[in-house]
Each structure stands twice: as C-alpha cells, then as structure tokens.
Amino acid sequence: MSQAPRRRSVTNSTNVRVLALRRGLSLLRKVSPSLTAIVAERLFFTPPPARKSQGLALLRDAEAIRLHVDGRWVAAWRWGRGPAIGLLHGWGGRAAQLSSFVEPLLARGFAVAALDAPGHGRSGRGLSSAPQFARALRALADSVGGLHGLVTHSLGAAAAALAMRDGLRVARVVMLGAAADPPLWVRSFAERLGLPEHVVDELRARSERRIGMPWRELHLPTLAASCQASLLVVHDRDDAEVPVADASAIVAASPQATLLETSGLGHNRLLRDPEVIARSVDFLTVGVATACACGRPAVDGRHCEYCRVEQELFDRELRWAASEVA
C-alpha cells in the first residue's frame, strides 16, 4: 500500500485532535481563564511522542548511561574512546536521530555521547523545557569527563548555548536547523488552539516561575554573542519549521560563527545528509590531536603507526590492500 493514504490519515487524526482541544479550551476559558492557562502550559511543555528511528539499532552497541537530572532519570549512551562529542536532539526528537554522526566521529578518533532529553524517548514522558535539556547536557558532560564539542539540532542548539552560559566548556559546536528564539513558537501554538493573549501571558508567567528563568534568556543570538566556542551554523533554505533567517541572526551575533546553507533538506534531513555530516566532523576535528586506543597519537584519525602496522600484519585483506597501493 502506498504511503500517501497513511500520511493523510495521520494528518486528519492530528487535525481532529487539535479541533477537539480548541473547543475544549474555549469552553474552559468561559469558566476559568486561569485554569485554561494551566492546561495550556502543560500542553505547550509536553513533548510529542518521538518518532521511530533507524538509529535505535545503534544504541545497542553503546555503553548505556543513566543520569539523574531534576529528580528524573535520563537515558544516555556512549561509544568509543577519545575526546568526547555530545549529541543533543531537538524538541520531540531523540538521540537516535543523530546516529548518523556516530561512526564518522568514531572513525576520526572521537568518543560520542548522546542522550534522550527529559520527557523524550527512553527518558520517559512528562513536561520538558530548554533549561532541562541544558541541565541534562551538563550532567552528560560530567559523566563522560567533559566534552570537546557538540552536534545539536533545533531547540537543542539553544539549550546547548544555555548550558555553556551556565558553565559547560566546549571548544566547537555544530548547530543544525537552530531556532533563534524558541519562545516564539508559542504564537503558532496559541493560534492553533485559539488562545487569547491574556491566557498566553499567564501561561508564560506560570512557566517562568516553574522553570526559574524568563523566556527572554533563551534568545540564541544573545547567548551566541558571549559564547566562547566556535560555531558552525548549518541551515537549509527549505526548512519549513525554522526560517533560514534565524541562522543568519545567530551568525551575525557571534564573531566565532560560520554559516553553511543547504537546499532541499528541510529541517530533519540535515541529520542524515552525508555532506553535512562530513563538513560537521571536519569542523569538530580542527585543532584536535586524537589518540589511538593504545594511547599513542593517531596518524590516520583512529590508529597510531604501530597499531596500524600490527593490524596489517594480522589482517590479510588489509595487507593485500596495502601492497596494492604500494
């Protein structure tokens, strides 16, 4: 059966749910605007169920890590040895979405660490927010002995910048499809559910008290302006979720940022595009002296000269390949 009918079915189901929520909130607003704001806040800060990802299989090859963040358990994983690169997904995402970066980073001598943010994937359901993403990322960095760099997507980019503002030290950060001002998403949320401005204002005030931070502090260009890390901001011109103008605003604010624009990849295919992955890994590798598993300096991104020769001696196919090159 073709995919088109299934997509229409999912879209229709979502529209029916939104319409039901809109009607329900409209009725509730007549009874209690404050209660409407409470319900709306929970809806806005509850992530959607994560989509299945082919990258889930790769998690089985990783070392599983459990992080305790804000009284909740957060699922995380680690691959390999060497300077660690952290992977941080966006709103409604999961670590497996960034799995295409794992093997290329391992091949360059890095370790890789990733997590499912609170309320996402295997970290369970419930409310979440960018500050919680940021605290989980700092906990991940502590658990693996620090991070050399980061690959972030969408909301994950702002959360990473928030974590750096609050003490996380990294040298280089890749930001994929980064949103310049995530709180602005409340506008489309309010429009879909028919929420008037005074309810949105109360939603914002309630959430700021709960998370302990004003929404204005999540403005990524402002965070990037004081960021000490080098940034590679990658954005697709056809991104329907986050406009490419957001990337330009981030780069304009940071003297250490470089912009890479792509076409035809949208918001999520950036995470699987071979060229984007290669450019990102090259960027993260600048200035890094990676080590072989034995501890000696690597000469080919993964092996030292001693281990490479030893591997060729005991691997007939590699020995043949080396002789053919000679």
Classify strands 72-79 and 257-262 as parallel, antiparallel or unpaired: unpaired
**pLDDT, average across residues 272-283:** 97
pLDDT surpassing 70 at residue 256: yes
User: Which residue in 95, 141, 160, 140 sits closest to 122, CA to CA?
Assistant: 95
Classify strands 63-69 and 72-79 as parallel, antiparallel or unpaired: antiparallel
| Cβ burial 259-270 (10 Å sphere, 16+ → b, else e) | bbebeebebbeb
Separation between Cα atoms, residue 233 and residue 111, nearest integer Å: 22
Instruction: List, for residues 67-115, the tens digit of each pLDDT value.
Output: 999 999 999 999 999 999 999 999 999 999 999 999 999 999 999 999 9
- DSSP character at residue 298: P
User: Which residue in 106, 2, 86, 93 sits closest to 55, CA to CA?
Assistant: 93
Q: Tell me, what's the pLDDT at 27?
A: 82
- DSSP character at residue 274: H
- DSSP character at residue 239: -
The answer for residues whose C-beta is within 8 angstroms of residue 97's C-beta and 6 or more apart is 53, 55, 89, 153, 268, 271
Given a contact cutoff of 8 angstroms between Cβ atoms, the answer to whether 46 and 129 are in contact is no
Using pLDDT thresholds of 50, 70 and 90, give the confidence band for residue 136.
very high
Using pLDDT thresholds of 50, 70 and 90, give the confidence band for residue 176.
very high
Using pLDDT thresholds of 50, 70 and 90, give the confidence band for residue 52.
confident
Element containing residue 142 per DSSP (H, E)? helix 130-143
Q: Considering only residues 25 and 274, tell me which one the structure prediction assigns the higher pLDDT.
A: 274
Give residue limits of the domains in the chain. Answer: 58-181+209-285, 292-326
Instruction: List, for residues 142-160, the tens digit of each pLDDT value.
Output: 999 999 999 999 999 999 9
**pLDDT, average across residues 237-263:** 96
263 Cα distance to chain centroid: 20
Amino acid at 322: A
Given a contact cutoff of 8 angstroms between Cβ atoms, the answer to whether 137 and 162 are in contact is no
- Cβ of 185: how many Cβ atoms within 10 Å? 15
Q: What angle do CA 182, 185, 189 make, to 5 degrees?
A: 155
User: Which residue in 274, 282, 268 sits closest to 176, CA to CA?
Assistant: 268
State the fold for domain 58-181+209-285: Rossmann fold (3.40.50)
Q: Tell me, what's the pLDDT at 232?
A: 98
Q: What is the mean pLDDT of the chain?
A: 87
Structure tokens at 263: 């076409």
Given a contact cutoff of 8 angstroms between Cβ atoms, the answer to whether 80 and 107 are in contact is no
pLDDT surpassing 50 at residue 4: no
Q: Mean pLDDT check: name the lowest of 20-29, 240-249, 253-262, 296-305.
A: 296-305
